[in-house]
Amino acid sequence: MKLLSVATSALVALGSIVSVVNADAYSDAMKEWCDGMSRTPNILTFPGIKITFPSTTTVVGAGSQTKVSVTRVPNQHEKSITGLDLYMVEGGSAKYINNIWHGMYSLNTQASITDTIPANTTAGLYYYRVWVTNMIQGQQGPACTPTSATFKVTSAGHTNDDGTTTQDDPNDTTLYNPEYQKGCFGLDVKYPAEGQTVDIGKHLRLQLHRDSASQTDELLQVDLFKGDPSNQGQFVQSIFTGEESINNILTLKDHIVLPSNVTSDGDFFYSLKVSSDKVDKTQDSCTFYSKNFKITESSN
């Protein structure tokens, strides 16, 4: 068990899909294969592998052609692009659209692959996931899967009753959520469950599920609030601050202890500060919320 909390309540990491030791060893190995994949200083990067296009300012009309451009600094590891997947950000989740290309494209210093966005594609934010495979004696080895920045796709237009055509506005935040463009999607606070009840003095599970195509990176802070996220709620206390990698599933435990000035009536929720691999965490971050739960006085 790894103690994470530095605040009043003890927040303890129970583990994830792999043990901490194995996860660290795997992470170190992948850093080597992925040309120095690193979170230093403040953002997850692939220093030797960069997706230079598309960018957050790219706007592509449905039915139009675009491209994915990848560059790398050559080293002792031979690499090939072996796949290219298209994703859409839908309702805060990473939605797989399709594999647009697969094959063997040698990546020495740079490579570009073209793609045509289907004419019936709905407007929204999209991004590519690139499979960069290390070649070992002619065989495929470990794969690095960096993602591009999210880019805007506009639909072919909407025909109104009067026969005029309306185009999508690239500045429409209902279609192109700026939070998603920061990489704030693909993470679900699975537990506590909606309406769950926990006694003071007991432990409550906090569990995060991260999509493998998410651009979220590390858990930086957890705060406990009373009320509802829709109206910000009343700050109760900080539960955790640090830098804990989120792989697929991260499970934590909070020992429920309330300050003397906070009563247990009403609803409570957690606010989570999370970094993404698209912004410098010292300058910006993502915020996710748990579902509302209740805290009761112990019956013992």
Which CATH number goes with the domain that contains 153?
A: 2.60.40.2950
The C-alpha atoms of residue 78 and residue 80 are separated, in whole angstroms, by: 7
Q: What is the pLDDT of residue 20?
A: 42
Q: What is the pLDDT of residue 33?
A: 65
Residues linked to residue 93 through DSSP beta bridges, in sequence order: 90
Kindly state whether residues 71 and 136 are assigned to the same domain: yes
pLDDT by position in tens, the chain (length 300): 233 433 333 344 433 333 344 555 555 555 666 754 444 444 444 456 889 999 999 999 999 999 999 988 877 778 889 999 999 999 999 999 999 999 998 888 899 999 999 998 999 999 999 999 887 777 777 788 889 999 999 987 666 677 666 778 899 999 999 999 999 999 999 999 999 999 999 999 999 999 999 999 999 999 999 998 888 889 999 999 999 988 889 999 999 999 999 999 999 999 999 999 898 888 899 999 999 999 998 765
Q: What is the pLDDT of residue 28?
A: 56
Region class of 92: left (phi > 0), else alpha (psi between -120 and 50), else beta: left
List C-alpha distances in Å: 187 to 6, 63, 92, 285, 288. Answer: 24, 30, 8, 13, 8
Q: Give the global pTM.
A: 0.82
Q: What is the pLDDT of residue 35?
A: 57
- CB contact at 8 A, 291 and 193: yes
Kindly state whether residues 95 and 167 are assigned to the same domain: yes
- CB contact at 8 A, 212 and 143: no
Residue 137 domain flag: yes
Q: What is the pLDDT of residue 39?
A: 44
Residue 216 domain flag: yes
The C-alpha atoms of residue 293 and residue 264 are separated, in whole angstroms, by: 11
The C-alpha atoms of residue 46 and residue 64 are separated, in whole angstroms, by: 29
Kindly state whether residues 146 and 83 are assigned to the same domain: yes
The C-alpha atoms of residue 136 and residue 79 are separated, in whole angstroms, by: 9
Q: What is the pLDDT of residue 11?
A: 47
Q: What is the pLDDT of residue 32?
A: 63
CB-based contacts of 154: which residues, under 8 Å, 6+ apart? 59, 60, 61, 62, 123, 167, 168, 170
- Token pair 């971050």 in the structure block, residue: 285
Question: Which of residues 130, 157, 181 is at a domain's end?
Answer: 181
Question: Which of residues 181, 196, 226 is at a domain's end?
Answer: 181
Provide the residue range defining the domain that includes 81.
Answer: 44-181
Kindly state whether residues 266 and 191 are assigned to the same domain: yes
Kindly state whether residues 81 and 202 are assigned to the same domain: no
**Could you tell me where the DSSP H helices lie in the chain?**
20-33, 178-181
